[in-house]
Chains A and B, each alone.
Chain A
C-alpha cells in the first residue's frame, strides 16, 4: 500500500532480445500535483519510462502503480489512458483529416457525453490555449507552436489527473518553446494536475519543481529544483 500518485519499483525494460537495457531497475515515487522533469541525453531511457507510466508500454519486470491503477497486469489500459492520462507527444500527432476542434474532441469519444457538451468543452479548451479562432482549421493550416497548443488542449480533453509530455518543445523554436512551457505550467498550477515532462534540455528541466536525471537506463539523480527559471505568469 503506498500513498504516492505514481509509484514505480524495480522497473526493467530491454530491447534487442535483452541485449539493450532501456530501463535498468528503476524505482521512484511522484506525489499528486508535482511538476517533474525527466532529463537525460538521447537513449537514456526517459521516453521508455514515460511510455510505461502512461500505459503505452509495459515493463518486463517491476511494478508501477498510477492513481490506483496497477499497470503491470495484462489487461487493456485504454480506460486508464482515457480517464487518468493526457499525453502530449513531441510531434503533436494530430489527425490531419480532422479540424482542430475535432482533434480536441477525439479522446471524448470514449466518454458518455452528448456531442453538445463535448463541443462546448473542446471550445473552452481551445479558448484556454488561445486557438478558438482556428477551431475549424485543419492542423496543416497551423504553425508548429499552434499545433502543439492543440495537442495540449487535446491532452486536457478528458480532464486527466496526470499530464505526460514527451519532449513537448523538441520541435519548436525557443520563443515558441517558452510559450508552450508557460502554458503547461499555468495549466499545472490552475488545475493542480501532476505534470511529467521528458526532455533532453536543461533549460526545459529547470522549469520543473523536481528533476529526475537519467543515464543508461538508470536514474542517477533525483533532486528538488530550487532555482526554477522565472517564467511570466
Chain B
C-alpha cells in the first residue's frame, strides 16, 4: 500500500494546484539563487586561481595579509632580489590594475612584458607582440576584443592615454581574456605605480626544491610576501573568496527562508482546511505517525519539485546574464554536480523543516473534535 499512500500525497497536492505551484515557486527561487550564485562564485574562484597561478610556473608570489591578492602590492625591488637567487630559473613581475574602459569599470589591465608570456600562459592569436619599451601599444584579450568589437590596428583610450591594439591573445582564463596586456613599465607609469608589482611568477631550476625556496621566501619576507602553489593556499591567503561565498550564501539563505515560510504557510493552511478529513483518517484507524508522514510527505514533495524547477531556473538565469556583453568578461559560471546535490539536499532539508510544525499540529487533531468541525 506504499504506492497508494504516495499516490494520496500527490493527489492531495494536485487538489490545490495553484497554491502548490506558488509554494513551489517560492522555494524554487531560493534554490535558483543557490545554483546561480554558487556557479558564478565557483567560476570566479576558478578564474581567479588560474589568473594568479600559471600552470607553467612553480609558484606565484603575492602580498601577505591582504584580503585580495589582486589588490596587493609588492615592491619591485623584491623581484630583482629574488631573481639573483641560484635556485631561480625565471621570475617575472606583473602589475594587475582595473581601469574604466568603454563603460566597463572593472576592465582588467595587466602590465607584463613579452618575456613573461610563456610562463603566464599567454598565446598570441592574431597580430604581433609589443616591445617591452613600447609606450602606446596593447594586446587585447580574445573575449575583450569580441565584446568591445575592436580589431588590430584600431586605437583606443585607456585612462586618458591612447593605445593601438597590435595583437589579440588568449589564456583560457575569462578574467585575463576579458582584459588587456600592456608593457609593465607603461602601466606602472600610467598608474603612477613605478615601484609596484602585484604578482611575481617564479620557475625554479629542475634541481631546486620548491618547498625549500617557498620556505626561504616566507621566512625572509615574513608578513610581506606569501607564496601560492595550489587552491588550498589560494583560499587561505585570499579571504575575498570566502567573502564572495559568504555573500552568496547570505542571499540564498534569505531567499530560502522566504520560500520555507511560503511552504510552511501552505502546509498550515492544508492542515487547517483538512481538519475534518484528518479526523476521518484518524477515526478509521490511521496512526498519528501516518498523518505526520502524509503532511511531511506533501511538504517534501513540494520542495523536491521546487529543487528541480529551481535548478533549471538557476542555470537559465545565469545563461541569460552571460548573454550581456558586459558580463562576458566577468562571469563564467562553473556548474558542478556537488552544487546541484547541495541544492537538492537543502531543498529536502527546507521541506522537512517547513513541514514539521504543520505535521505536528496535524497529529494533535483529535478525531472526535475534528468530526464536529465544519
Interface residues of A, Cβ cutoff 8 Å to B? 51, 54, 56-57, 76, 78-79, 81-83, 85, 87, 89, 93, 95, 97-98, 102, 105-111, 113-115, 118, 154, 157-158
Q: Please, which residues of chain B bring their CB within 8 A of the CB of A85?
A: 285
- Whether A56 and B367, one on each chain, are in contact in the complex, defined by CB atoms closer than 8 angstroms, is yes
Q: Please, which residues of chain A bring their CB within 8 A of the CB of B56?
A: none
| Leading 4 A-B pairs by shortest Cβ distance | A82-B285, A107-B284, A81-B285, A78-B287
Q: Please, which residues of chain A bring their CB within 8 A of the CB of B8?
A: 98, 102, 109
Please name 9 pairs of A and B residues whose Cβ atoms are closer than 8 Å in the assembled complex, sorted by A: A78-B285, A82-B285, A93-B276, A97-B15, A105-B4, A106-B281, A110-B286, A111-B1, A115-B4
Does B12 lie at the interface of the complex (its beta carbon under 8 Å from any beta carbon of A)? Answer: yes
Does B368 lie at the interface of the complex (its beta carbon under 8 Å from any beta carbon of A)? Answer: yes
Q: Please, which residues of chain A bring their CB within 8 A of the CB of B3?
A: 115
- Whether A95 and B285, one on each chain, are in contact in the complex, defined by CB atoms closer than 8 angstroms, is no
**Quick one: which of A51, A54, A57, A97 has the most chain B CB within 10 A?**
A97
A114 to B4 alpha-carbon distance, docked (Å): 9
Does B282 lie at the interface of the complex (its beta carbon under 8 Å from any beta carbon of A)? Answer: yes
**Quick one: which of B1, B287, B288, B367 has the most chain A CB within 10 A?**
B1
Does B11 lie at the interface of the complex (its beta carbon under 8 Å from any beta carbon of A)? Answer: yes
- Whether A113 and B1, one on each chain, are in contact in the complex, defined by CB atoms closer than 8 angstroms, is yes
A57 to B4 alpha-carbon distance, docked (Å): 29
**Quick one: which of A54, A87, A111, A157 has the most chain B CB within 10 A?**
A87
- Whether A158 and B285, one on each chain, are in contact in the complex, defined by CB atoms closer than 8 angstroms, is yes
A141 to B56 alpha-carbon distance, docked (Å): 77
The secondary-structure label for the interface of chain B is: helix
- Whether A95 and B277, one on each chain, are in contact in the complex, defined by CB atoms closer than 8 angstroms, is yes
A30 to B42 alpha-carbon distance, docked (Å): 74
Given contacts A105-B4, A109-B290, A57 and B285 within 8 Å (CB-CB):
no
- Whether B1 and A114, one on each chain, are in contact in the complex, defined by CB atoms closer than 8 angstroms, is yes
A76 to B290 alpha-carbon distance, docked (Å): 13
Q: Please, which residues of chain B bring their CB within 8 A of the CB of A76?
A: 287-288
Interface residues of B, Cβ cutoff 8 Å to A? 1, 3-5, 8, 11-12, 15, 276-277, 280-288, 290, 367-368, 371
A79 to B127 alpha-carbon distance, docked (Å): 84
Q: Please, which residues of chain A bring their CB within 8 A of the CB of B276?
A: 93
- Whether A51 and B368, one on each chain, are in contact in the complex, defined by CB atoms closer than 8 angstroms, is yes
A57 to B276 alpha-carbon distance, docked (Å): 16
Q: Please, which residues of chain B bring their CB within 8 A of the CB of A106?
A: 281, 284, 286
B15 nearest in chain A by CB position: A97
Partner of B11, one of A51, A97, A114: A97
A157 nearest in chain B by CB position: B284
A151 to B316 alpha-carbon distance, docked (Å): 51
A87 to B287 alpha-carbon distance, docked (Å): 16
A112 nearest in chain B by CB position: B1
B281 nearest in chain A by CB position: A106
- Whether A97 and B287, one on each chain, are in contact in the complex, defined by CB atoms closer than 8 angstroms, is no
- Whether B284 and A87, one on each chain, are in contact in the complex, defined by CB atoms closer than 8 angstroms, is yes
- Whether A78 and B4, one on each chain, are in contact in the complex, defined by CB atoms closer than 8 angstroms, is no
A107 to B367 alpha-carbon distance, docked (Å): 14
Cβ of A218 to closest chain B Cβ, rounded Å: 21
Given contacts A93-B280, A95-B277, A98-B11, A107 and B4 within 8 Å (CB-CB):
no
Cβ of B72 to closest chain A Cβ, rounded Å: 65
Cβ of A228 to closest chain B Cβ, rounded Å: 30
- Whether A110 and B11, one on each chain, are in contact in the complex, defined by CB atoms closer than 8 angstroms, is no
Cβ of B61 to closest chain A Cβ, rounded Å: 68
Cβ of B286 to closest chain A Cβ, rounded Å: 6
A54 to B283 alpha-carbon distance, docked (Å): 9
A157 to B5 alpha-carbon distance, docked (Å): 16
A85 to B3 alpha-carbon distance, docked (Å): 25
A57 nearest in chain B by CB position: B368
A98 to B15 alpha-carbon distance, docked (Å): 10
Q: Please, which residues of chain B bring their CB within 8 A of the CB of A78?
A: 282, 285-288
Partner of A115, one of B1, B277, B287, B368: B1
Q: Please, which residues of chain B bring their CB within 8 A of the CB of A56?
A: 283, 367-368, 371
- Whether A95 and B290, one on each chain, are in contact in the complex, defined by CB atoms closer than 8 angstroms, is no
- Whether A110 and B367, one on each chain, are in contact in the complex, defined by CB atoms closer than 8 angstroms, is no
- Whether B287 and A79, one on each chain, are in contact in the complex, defined by CB atoms closer than 8 angstroms, is yes
Cβ of A79 to closest chain B Cβ, rounded Å: 7
A51 to B372 alpha-carbon distance, docked (Å): 12
Q: Please, which residues of chain A bring their CB within 8 A of the CB of B12?
A: 97
A43 to B190 alpha-carbon distance, docked (Å): 97
- Whether B1 and A109, one on each chain, are in contact in the complex, defined by CB atoms closer than 8 angstroms, is yes
Given contacts A97-B15, A98-B11, A118-B1, A110 and B287 within 8 Å (CB-CB):
yes
A40 to B3 alpha-carbon distance, docked (Å): 44
A113 nearest in chain B by CB position: B1
A232 to B371 alpha-carbon distance, docked (Å): 33
User: Known pairs A54-B283, A114-B1. 4 more at Cβ < 8 A?
Assistant: A97-B12, A109-B286, A110-B290, A115-B1
Given contacts A51-B368, A57-B368, A93-B371, A154 and B284 within 8 Å (CB-CB):
yes
Cβ of A46 to closest chain B Cβ, rounded Å: 14
B2 nearest in chain A by CB position: A115
- Whether A109 and B5, one on each chain, are in contact in the complex, defined by CB atoms closer than 8 angstroms, is yes
A29 to B363 alpha-carbon distance, docked (Å): 32
Q: Please, which residues of chain B bring their CB within 8 A of the CB of A83?
A: 285
A145 to B17 alpha-carbon distance, docked (Å): 31
A89 to B282 alpha-carbon distance, docked (Å): 13
- Whether B1 and A79, one on each chain, are in contact in the complex, defined by CB atoms closer than 8 angstroms, is no
